[in-house]
């Protein structure tokens, strides 16, 4: 039992290492993954300024812009990842190894979180400095808790997608593409999700970023609670439930998809 | 008796997909990838599975490596059922496929190998030590710090073969390990595989290939497989013997010999034929002898005819001949057609 735990922890570290190193080795990411998203953020800031929206909206947009890095990472480096791994032959290596398949997903998530954080911090700091965002922390403890729960449930969702897309061919790429823009809208990356109305907001809350962003805005800006969808404590509770659900769902989805793949011969696609 | 690998009536079918026939009704076809395969591999053995593309070699190896479920029958690895206890099987095995592009281009060769070693829980110290040793043994130490995106196909495959050995598995499955490699790299890889098995009594290798020479050179025993069926299984020498085909001696001499018909009368000669090339003035003699020892009698007769032997060779039946006799087709021809 102890040996198995040790092996799985090493596997998590090993798989995460690829992204820890990858986060810095190709400097082109500074342009493609931070400066370009910053342009979108800037566009929304100027729209709000032109409309003379409340000052908090600038902060809302900068925070949303920074959190985009996590969504992009979950979508492209988690959800579609097993498809790429299958294409290159890595999936076969993971499936033959004496480890829990969840260790690979955790490794991907842990490395991906670090990678996305470097991008998010960059966008957040530059955006805050350029647009002179005024933060007023209501409760930093709750803010950190909310951020961490958002990440756990978000990467949990990524792990579910990754498991479900494992047997996909090129359609994994298309499906991932299909999710990108609607979530930008539903999660309120660039506006308070309350604007969608309670029903749409609640449906959108199935995506962890919706509750996470809404809660963080309430806790980081003076008039944030005025634009909040739900009470922050309720949002924390919701994120706890989503985290538990997605982690369990990913475990079972992975187990089932692996069985299906082995049964149908689709776990590894080459030379069948 | 316990075996490193044992299959009992192992069968695997694949759906070919649905096709519409003339009556417009859908019919599904099944491909029989493995058809009641019974194979046993002893511990410490280097066992080859030889067959053309689509014969079922990869399917067999994938079932044994717990990547695929059999349709029926059973497969045991070190006496452990691959379907019931895949987790236990995985602790004893590793697998390398030919033509793999696995690994992460952003990492160096050494980093990739370390990363994969962590999937087996190997300590950092041992992993680094093994990686250094293997890189040296396979002549890759100069590439250790190079990103694998910069490696040639051959070098990348060599790295993957090293990956297979880093975790020091009890049983290693090699699926066409030298596929697409140049002669020099293939030779180095084959040499290492052979050494690894010979130096470790408990290590077993199951290697699939469609290269006859590779199976002949490396394997203690070979199973010839075609259309999912094992057609024969024995040592390369015994398989060749089973053909009951005689060795043929080819002798090239520099003159047209007198009384060539009398060569038939030399003791020990079963069959004799010749061909004289008038352009070069050389004569080619072909003999089938009752025993190798009779060759001296022939060389003596040639010398007595004041002729000089330019070349002498003995052609024994090859695994290719065995394959042709079993399958009714040549393996190399099939590969050429497919390429």
Q: Which long-range contacts (CB under 8 A, 24 or more apart) does B240-247 make?
A: B240/B316, B240/B317, B240/B318, B240/B319, B240/B321, B240/B322, B242/B322, B243/B317, B243/B321, B243/B322, B243/B325, B245/B317, B245/B321, B246/B270, B246/B271, B246/B288, B246/B289, B247/B288, B247/B289, B247/B292, B247/B314, B247/B315, B247/B316, B247/B317
Cross-chain Cβ contact B58/A90 below 8 Å: no
Q: How far is B66 from chain A (nearest CA, A)?
A: 7
* pLDDT more than 70, % of chain B: 92
| For range B87-93, the mean pLDDT | 96
**Residue in B58, B102, B118 closest to A11 by CB:** B118
Cβ separation A13–B87 shorter than 8 A: no
Residues of B with CB under 8 A from a CB of A: 14-15, 33, 58-59, 62, 65-69, 87, 90-91, 93-95, 97, 100-104, 106-107, 111, 114-122, 163, 175
Task: For residue B80, list chain A residues with Cβ-Cβ distance below 8 A.
Answer: none
Among B62, B100, B177, B179, the strongest candidate for a mutation testing the A interface, having the largest count of A CBs within 10 A, is B62
Please tell me the predicted confidence (pLDDT) of residue B336.
43
ipTM of the shown complex:
0.89
Provide the percentage of residues in chain B whose pLDDT is more than 90.
55
Strand order in the sheet with B248-253: B269-277, B282-289, B248-253, B309-315
Residues A95, B66: C-beta atoms closer than 8 Å: yes
User: How far is Cα A66 from Cα A126, in angstroms, rounded to an integer?
Assistant: 10
CA distance A216 to chain B (A): 35
Q: Does A209 touch chain B (CB under 8 A)?
A: no
* pLDDT on residue B258: 67
The 10s digit of each residue's pLDDT in A16-41 is: 999 999 888 888 888 888 888 899 99
Q: Is A268 on the interface with B (CB under 8 A)?
A: yes
The answer to whether B119 contacts A262, with C-beta atoms less than 8 Å apart, is no
**What string of H, E and C letters represents the secondary structure of chain B?**
CCCCEEEEEEEEEEEEEEEECCCCCEEEEEEEEEEEEEEEECCCCEEEEECCCCCCHHHHHHHHCCCCCCCEEEEEECCEECCCCHHHHHCCEEEEECCCCCCCCCCEHHHHHHHHHHHHCCCHHHHHHHHHHHHHHCCCHHHCCCEHHHCCHHHHHHHHHHHHHHCCCCEEEEECCCCCCCHHHHHHHHHHHHHHHHHCCCCEEEEEECCHHHHHHHCCEEEEEECCEEEEEECHHHHHHCCCCCCEEEEEECCCCCCHHHHHHCCCEEEEEEEEECCCCEEEEEEEECCHHHHHHHHHHHHHCCCCEEEEEEECCCHHHHHHHHHCCCHHHHHHHHC
Determine the residue of chain B that is closest to A17 in CA distance. B115
Task: Classify residue B132 as exposed, middle or buried by CB count within 10 Å of its CB (0-12, 13-18, 19+).
Answer: middle
A272 interfaces chain B, CB cutoff of 8 Å: yes
| Range name among B91-105, B174-188, B239-253 with the lowest pLDDT average | B239-253
pLDDT in tens, A51-104: 999 999 999 999 999 999 999 999 888 988 888 898 888 999 999 999 999 999
Task: Please report residues of B whose CB lies closer than 8 A to that of A271.
Answer: 58, 97, 175
> Which pLDDT belongs to residue A272?
38
> pLDDT at position B334, please?
47
User: Domain spans of chain B?
Assistant: 5-241, 248-315
User: What is the model's pLDDT at position A125?
Assistant: 95
Q: Answer yes or no: do B106 and A94 touch at CB < 8 A.
A: no
B274 or B198, which is more confident: B198
Mean pLDDT for chain B? 88
Mutate to test the interface with B, among A22, A259, A271, A272 (most CBs of B within 10 A): A271
Please indicate whether, in this complex, the C-beta atoms of A96 and B67 are within 8 angstroms of each other. yes
Minimal Cβ distance to A265: which of B14, B95, B175: B14
pLDDT at position B267, please? 87
Res B18: pLDDT: 57
pLDDT band at B339 (very low <50, low <70, confident <90, very high): very low
Is B119 close to A263, i.e. CB distance below 8 A? no
Between CA B61 and CA A268 the distance in angstroms is 12
What pLDDT is attached to residue B283? 87
Question: In this complex, which of B67, B121, B175 lies closest to A95 when CB atoms are compared?
Answer: B67
For residue range B12-58, list pLDDT tens digits in order: 999 876 555 555 545 557 889 999 999 999 999 999 999 988 899 99
pLDDT of res. B107 = 95
CATH of B5-241, one of 3.40.50.300, 1.10.1040.10, 3.40.50.800, 3.30.1020.10: 3.40.50.300
| Separation of alpha carbons B192 and B138, rounded Å | 7
Contacts of B31 (CB under 8 A, 6+ apart): B13, B14, B15, B16
Inform me whether the pLDDT recorded for B150 exceeds 90: yes
Fold designation for B248-315: Alpha-Beta Plaits (3.30.70)
Residue A271's pLDDT band (cuts 50, 70, 90)? very low
Residues B241-294: tens digit of each pLDDT: 887 677 788 899 887 666 777 788 888 888 888 888 888 888 888 888 888 888
Query: Residue A271: which of B58, B93, B101 has the nearest Cβ?
Result: B58
Q: Is the pLDDT reported for residue B211 higher than 90?
A: no
Contact A262 B69 (CB under 8 A): yes
What is the predicted pLDDT for the residue at B332? 55
What number is the average pLDDT over the span B190-206? 93
pLDDT at A170 over 80: no
- Residue among A167, A155, A149, A150 at smallest CA distance from A254: A167
Is A92 near chain B, with CB under 8 Å? yes
Q: Using an 8 Å Cβ cutoff, are A261 and B69 in contact? A: no
pLDDT at A166: 81
Residues in chain A within 8 Å Cβ distance of B210? none
Name every chain B residue with its beta carbon within 8 A of the beta carbon of A10: 118-119, 121-122
**Cβ–Cβ gap A98/B87 under 8 Å:** yes
- Calculate helix-pair angle for B153-166, B109-117, nearest 10 degrees: 30
Which of B67, B90, B175 comes nearest A98 by C-beta?
B90
């Amino acid at each position: 039992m102890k040996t198995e735990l040790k092996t799985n922890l090493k596997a998590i570290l090993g798989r995460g290492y690829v992204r820890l190193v990858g986060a810095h080795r190709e400097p082109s990411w500074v342009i493609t993954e931070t400066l370009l998203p910053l342009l979108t953020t800037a566009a929304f800031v100027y729209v709000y300024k032109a409309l003379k929206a409340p000052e908090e909206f600038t902060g809302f947009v900068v925070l949303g812009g920074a959190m985009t890095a996590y969504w992009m990472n979950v979508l492209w480096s988690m959800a579609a990842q097993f498809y790429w791994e299958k294409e290159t032959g890595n999936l076969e290596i993971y499936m033959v190894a004496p480890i829990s398949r969840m260790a690979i997903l955790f490794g991907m998530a842990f490395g991906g979180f670090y990678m996305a954080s470097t991008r998010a911090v960059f966008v957040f700091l530059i955006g805050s400095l350029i647009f002179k965002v005024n933060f007023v922390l209501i409760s930093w403890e709750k803010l950190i808790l909310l951020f961490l729960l958002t990440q756990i449930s978000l990467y949990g969702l990524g792990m579910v997608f990754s498991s479900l897309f494992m047997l996909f061919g090129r359609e994994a790429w298309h499906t991932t593409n299909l999710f990108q823009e609607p979530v930008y809208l539903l999660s309120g990356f660039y506006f308070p999700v309350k604007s969608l109305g309670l029903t749409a907001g609640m449906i959108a809350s199935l995506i962890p970023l919706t509750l996470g962003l809404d809660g963080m805005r309430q806790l980081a800006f003076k008039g944030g609670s005025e634009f909040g969808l739900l009470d922050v404590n309720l949002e924390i509770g919701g994120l706890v439930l989503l985290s538990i659900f997605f982690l369990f769902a990913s475990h079972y989805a992975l187990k089932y998809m692996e069985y299906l793949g082995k049964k149908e011969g689709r776990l590894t696609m080459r030379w069948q | 008796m316990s075996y490193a690998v044992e299959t009992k009536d192992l069968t695997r079918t694949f759906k070919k997909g649905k096709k519409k026939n003339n009556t417009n009704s859908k019919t599904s076809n099944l491909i029989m990838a493995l058809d009641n395969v019974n194979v046993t591999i002893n511990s410490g053995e280097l066992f080859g599975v030889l067959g053309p593309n689509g014969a079922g070699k990869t399917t067999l190896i994938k079932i044994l490596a717990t990547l695929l479920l059999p349709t029926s029958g059973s497969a045991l690895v070190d006496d452990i059922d691959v379907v019931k206890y895949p987790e236990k099987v995985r602790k004893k095995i590793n697998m390398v496929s030919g033509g793999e592009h696995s690994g992460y281009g952003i990492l160096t060769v050494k980093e990739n190998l370390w990363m994969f070693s962590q999937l087996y829980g190997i300590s950092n110290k041992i992993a680094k030590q093994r990686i250094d040793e293997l890189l040296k043994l396979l002549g890759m130490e100069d590439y250790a710090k190079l990103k694998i995106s910069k490696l040639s196909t051959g070098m990348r495959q060599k790295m993957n073969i090293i990956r297979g050995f880093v975790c020091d598995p009890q049983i290693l499955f090699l699926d066409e390990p030298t596929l697409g490699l140049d002669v020099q790299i293939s030779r180095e890889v084959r040499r290492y595989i052979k050494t690894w098995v010979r130096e470790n009594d408990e290590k077993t290798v199951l290697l699939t290939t469609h290269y006859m020479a590779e199976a002949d050179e490396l394997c203690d025993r070979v199973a010839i497989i075609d259309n999912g069926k094992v057609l024969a299984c024995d040592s390369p020498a015994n398989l060749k013997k089973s053909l009951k085909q005689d060795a043929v001696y080819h002798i090239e001499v520099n003159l047209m010999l007198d009384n060539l018909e009398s060569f038939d009368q030399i003791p020990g000669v079963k069959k004799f034929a010749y061909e004289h090339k008038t352009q070069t003035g050389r004569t080619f003699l072909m003999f089938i002898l009752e025993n190798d020892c009779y060759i001296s009698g022939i060389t003596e007769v040639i010398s007595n005819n004041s002729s000089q032997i330019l070349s002498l060779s003995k052609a024994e039946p090859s695994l290719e001949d065995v394959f042709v006799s079993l399958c009714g087709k040549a393996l190399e021809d099939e590969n050429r057609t497919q390429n």
